[in-house]
Amino acid sequence: MSEMQSTVLIVDDEASPREALRLALSRDYRPLTAAGEEEAFSILAREPVEVVLLDIILDGRSGLDVLGRIRVEYPQIPVVMVTALNTVETAVEAMKRGACDYVAKPFPLDEIRIRVSKAIDANRLRKDYSLLVDQLKTRDGLVRLVGASTAMARVREQLLKVSDSDCTVLVTGESGTGKELAARAIHVEGARASRPFVPLNSVAFTPELIESELFGHEKGAFTGAFRAKPGMFEMAEGGTLFLDEIGDMPPAIQGKLLRALQDRKIRRVGGLSEIRVDVRLIVATHQDLDALIRAGKFRSDLYYRINVVKVEIPPLRNRLADIPELVRHFVAELSSRSGRPSPSISPLALDVLMAHRWPGNVRELENAIEHALVTMEGDKIEPWHLPKHVACSDAADTGSHHVSDAARATTGEALGGEITLRGATERVERMVIEQALEKAGGVLTEAARLLGTTRRILKYKMDKLGMGGDSNE
């Protein structure tokens, strides 16, 4: 949500200062006014208010009472107290009772705008922080597998079922689809959740080192082995060992892995005794293991041992309906990491993201959002903030989503420096509004609903763009 769309509630029983504040904030916000307590709470009950400007005196009574009620019924909404010069002490008391700020009369209108902006930004940061804390608490569980599509619902259901057992699971899917997230979800939702989750990527080590990483080694087992070291199997004792890209595991190590799975015992490199291990195994690959078996690059007996239950993570191009939710998720998460408010994303930018084929899957989408957050200015992600290969990709390749030629031309001109950012933004906004109005049959309220905004804001935008026109309502 942009600042222009932020709703500010002004509560003051005097008409003159109430109207002055409304006019001062109408340029950047959506100001609503209330002359008293009950009117204010009626608005709070039905409107998405982001900050309240509350006069210290209402109808002869202390605004502290109204502040107390807001803190009880709407604790997430920040309140800025407005006070006369001779009641600053009361305003300080209001701060102690939960007001986020106060401003004394008479005040410059620019100062009011600054206080409102700070209150909104600080509150969004608090929300983002709370979201991040919640995500960290469940960061490896099913909640991290974002997506409301039927395909992802089926995956979550399957992962939940296998988490109840102790069987070996084979997770397949293209690179970037989230195979490790799926493995972590199985672990976290299962009986071994309190024990270690130990991941190992088979392509990250040379054939000589991978045996030592998996099974450990004794002191002096090879040059550089100055002390004994436990391997991944021992480190995962009682928990889960996740072997990523198992299709790239060297054939010699495949045989030793098979024996470890069959006997539940391992032997360190250079060791003489066997060590019993209690580990659940989850493996993953982006390759076709059947093809590797036919090519003599993967052992069929190991394949049958690891393929007890198979979970396939679908590529992003097959679950495009998940993109809006994934975008919101990454925007919130990445903004929280950098300590900034979460920006909104324009309908056209989302259209572009829906049109891209995403060969890098969810990982590529996350990188695209991170790129946009780093390069953008303002509080809204537009197509020209996205990586060029995404913003200028051929939408026709998807076969089901279309971005208009005019929109792509605008994006290309902005990226090429042929028009200003403001000019591109206004052109795109005009185009999106025209399309919404056409779809809504000219009814302004319906067009506003389609665009996820209010009739008042849409009318304001149209007037600003010189579109004008009356609704058919």
Q: What is the pLDDT of residues 129-155, one digit of tens each?
A: 555 444 444 444 565 678 878 888 899
CATH level 3 topology of 318-464: Helicase, Ruva Protein; domain 3 (1.10.8)
343 vs 225, higher pLDDT = 343
Question: So what's the pLDDT on residue 454?
Answer: 74
In the 3-class helix/strand/coil scheme, how is the chain assigned residue by residue?
CCHHHCEEEEECCCHHHHHHHHHHHCCCCEEEEECCHHHHHHHHHHCCEEEEEEECEECCEEHHHHHHHHHHHCCCCCEEEEEEHHHHHHHHHHHHCCCCEEEEECCCHHHHHHHHHHHHHHHHHHHHHHHHHHHHHCCCCHHHCCCCCHHHHHHHHHHHHHHCCCCCEEEECCCCCCHHHHHHHHHHHCCCCCCCEEEEEHHHCCHHHHHHHHHCECCCCCCCCCCCECCHHHHCCCCEEEEECHHHCCHHHHHHHHHHHHHCEECCECCCCCEECCCEEEEEECCCHHHHHHCCCCCHHHHHHHCCEEEECCCHHHCHHHHHHHHHHHHHHHHHHHCCCCCEECHHHHHHHHHCCCCCHHHHHHHHHHHHHHHCCCCEECHHHCCHHHHCCCHHHHCCCCCCHHHHHHHHHHHCCCCCHHHHHHHHHHHHHHHHHHHCCCCHHHHHHHCCCCHHHHHHHHHHCCCCCCCCC
Domains 3-137 and 142-314 equal at CATH topology level = yes
Question: So what's the pLDDT on residue 139?
Answer: 45
- 447-467 mean pLDDT: 78
CATH level 3 topology of 3-137: Rossmann fold (3.40.50)
Where are the chain's structural domains?
3-137, 142-314, 318-464
User: For residue range 207-222, what is the model confidence (pLDDT) as tens digits?
Assistant: 778 999 999 999 888 8
Assign 232 a pLDDT band (cuts: 50, 70, 90): very high
User: For residue range 65-95, what is the model confidence (pLDDT) as tens digits?
Assistant: 899 889 888 888 999 988 875 566 776 777 7
User: For residue range 302-344, what is the model confidence (pLDDT) as tens digits?
Assistant: 999 999 999 999 999 888 888 888 999 999 989 988 888 899 9
Say if pTM beats, i.e. exceeds, 0.85: no
Domain 142-314 in CATH 1.10.10.10: no
User: For residue range 400-443, what is the model confidence (pLDDT) as tens digits?
Assistant: 334 345 555 555 555 555 556 566 667 777 777 887 788 888 88
Percent of the chain's residues with pLDDT above 70: 85
User: For residue range 6-39, what is the model confidence (pLDDT) as tens digits?
Assistant: 899 999 988 988 898 999 898 889 999 999 999 9
450 vs 296, higher pLDDT = 296
Whether the pLDDT of residue 396 is over 70: the answer is: no
Among 20-24, 243-247, 288-292, 394-398, the minimum mean pLDDT is found in 394-398
